Amino acid sequence: MNYFEHIPPIGYRGPECDEPFAFRHYDPDRVLDGKPLRDHLRFAVCYWHNFCWEGTDIFGEGTFLRPWHQLSDPMESARAKMDAAFDFMSLLGVPFWTFHDSDIAPAGESWRATRDNLERMVDYAERKMADTGLRLLWGTANLFSHRRYMAGAATNPDPQVFACAAGQIQKALEITHRLGGENYVMWGGREGYETLLNTDLRREQEQLGRMLCMTVDYKHKLGFDGPILIEPKPQEPTKHQYDYDVATIYGLLTRFGLEGEVKVNIEVNHATLAGHSFHHEIAMAQALGLFGSVDANRGDYQNGWDTDQYPNSVDELVMPCYEILRHGGFTSGGFNFDTKLRRQSVAPEDLFHAHIGAMDILALTWEKAAALLASGSLDDARTARYESWGGELGQPILGGDHDLESLAAVVVRDDLQPEPVSGQQELLENRVNAVIHSR
Ligand code: XUL
Ligand code: CO
């Protein structure tokens, strides 16, 4: 079966090209600041939305009718799905992929059978990765789809469910390590509550802390040197999720002594669901030393849920990209497209149009963000704004040489009457727009 037989490999053809199966901005070999764009952007295709999801929604059946979903033998179907996935990713020319354990292998009658199926599919993936050169950005365990996890995985009231989740994490981390994964992701879609009427908040958060500590311990035992990344999301599917946003995760990590061990995977549409901008979440993660990776997508301004659409706006992405670049760019992370087609986009070609557009927009944005950084205009303004903290009043305050009484004495002695200074927001917005709209 060759589902994408009629599609050519996607290459860079330049901004004037109007051929749909080509990149207009993403030239993977173009060197920017000594590094090819491929290594700056570190694009990854996600397995679940593209190859597992059948185009269902809560009211409607699957619309995609992918051939690998029509096969009756589950392992044959898993192999056909993996063939299609690797064909797609090779034609698209992304360097990385991402998956959940249950995306790549079917569950068996017992845990032993499930783990055997997974092992066989990992063997298959290992060969495909060697043949195509594709690498694994991250792996993860699906601890939210099966009905046993309806009341949480780590935060479940039943310790047997906690144990099942631990077993899945153990195996998923082991196979991520075996496949050379660069990170391991934990998204806690069911780690939260539907109602406080039946929930012991303190206990559930302690259970979550225990699972995180066990995961970090096992990572060290395995010798896996990539970071564990928690992916914040405030709600959906659960009414309230404990990994609400970056700042909340920081609180959990310090509570359980895991600072320095765990970072974050920030998803655009999760940031906006939390009432933040994507820029805010990136900046907060950088400020707290937690930045790891990005699930690149976008929401819909009219909908209050996670629509997981493909990124398509330079204006919306330029400041987040600038924020990533300002702190040195990606290390182990990258841009993973945690994105799904609209349900009416039933043609195989639609998977290409979606990813080509997203990769082009991010490549263009990255160049604009690099130009903004190189111009120094925002950094200069920011440095100037805080300059007096380096002076004779600011230094001793920060150094701990003052207390409230000594500062009160300084205020009275020098009769301090500080003059407000312009924050220059509009000027700075104009500077950003000048870079976005320059040729
Ligand atoms: C759900 C979501 C997940 C994680 C991995 O909103 O983003 O797909 O990225 O479990
Ligand atoms: Co995600």
Q: What is the 3-state secondary structure (H, E, C) of the chain?
A: CCCCCCCCCCEECCCCCCCCCEECCCCCCCEECCEEHHHHHCCEEEHHHHHHCCCCCCCCCCCCCCHHHHCCCHHHHHHHHHHHHHHHHHHHCCCEEEEEHHHHCCCCCCHHHHHHHHHHHHHHHHHHHHHHCCEEEEEECCCCCCHHHCCCCCCCCCHHHHHHHHHHHHHHHHHHHHCCCCEEEECCCCCEECCHHHCCHHHHHHHHHHHHHHHHHHHHHHCCCCCEEECCCCCCCCCEECCCCHHHHHHHHHHCCCCCCEEEEEEHHHHHHCCCCHHHHHHHHHHCCCEEEEECCECCCCCCCCCCECCCCHHHHHHHHHHHHHCCCCCCCCEEECCCCCCCCCCHHHHHHHHHHHHHHHHHHHHHHHHHHHHCHHHHHHHHHCHHHHCCCHHHHHCCCCCHHHHHHHHHHHCCCCCCCCCCHHHHHHHHHHHHCCC
pLDDT band at 305 (very low <50, low <70, confident <90, very high): confident
| Residue whose CA lies nearest to ligand 1 atom number 5 | 187
- Of ligand 1's atoms, which has the minimum distance to the CA of residue 265? 9
With pLDDT > 90 as the criterion, what percentage of the chain qualifies?
99
Query: Per residue in 217-252, pLDDT tens?
Result: 999 999 999 999 999 999 999 999 999 999 999 999
Q: Which residues are CB-contacts of 387 (< 8 A; sequence separation ≥ 6)?
A: none
* pTM of the predicted protein model: 0.98
With pLDDT > 70 as the criterion, what percentage of the chain qualifies?
100
Average pLDDT for 297-306: 92
pLDDT band at 439 (very low <50, low <70, confident <90, very high): confident
Query: Per residue in 155-173, pLDDT tens?
Result: 999 999 999 999 999 999 9
> Residue 242's closest CA among 199, 290, 198?
199
Q: What is the pLDDT of residue 1?
A: 67
For residue 261, CA distances in Å to 54, 207, 287, 366, 422 come to 36, 18, 16, 28, 40
Cβ proximity of 217 and 173 under 8 Å: no
Ligand 1 site, CB within 6 A = 100, 140, 185, 187, 189, 231, 233, 267, 295, 306, 338
- Test site for ligand 1: of 102, 295, 306, most ligand atoms within 8 A of the Cβ: 295
Q: Annotated catalytic sites, by residue? A: 100, 103
Q: What is the pLDDT of residue 304?
A: 84
Pairing of strands 240-241, 192-193: antiparallel
How far, in Å, from the CA of 228 to the mean position of ligand 1? 15
Query: Per residue in 331-349, pLDDT tens?
Result: 999 999 999 999 999 999 9
- Of ligand 1's atoms, which has the minimum distance to the CA of residue 49? 8
Average pLDDT, the chain: 98
For residue 71, CA distances in Å to 80, 113, 264 come to 9, 20, 37
Query: Per residue in 109-143, pLDDT tens?
Result: 999 999 999 999 999 999 999 999 999 999 999 99
- Test site for ligand 1: of 191, 338, 340, most ligand atoms within 8 A of the Cβ: 338
Q: What is the pLDDT of residue 225?
A: 96
Q: Which two tokens stand for residue 165?
A: 């989740």
Average pLDDT for 315-343: 98
Residue found by looking up tokens 């500080």 in the block: 418
Q: What is the pLDDT of residue 41?
A: 99
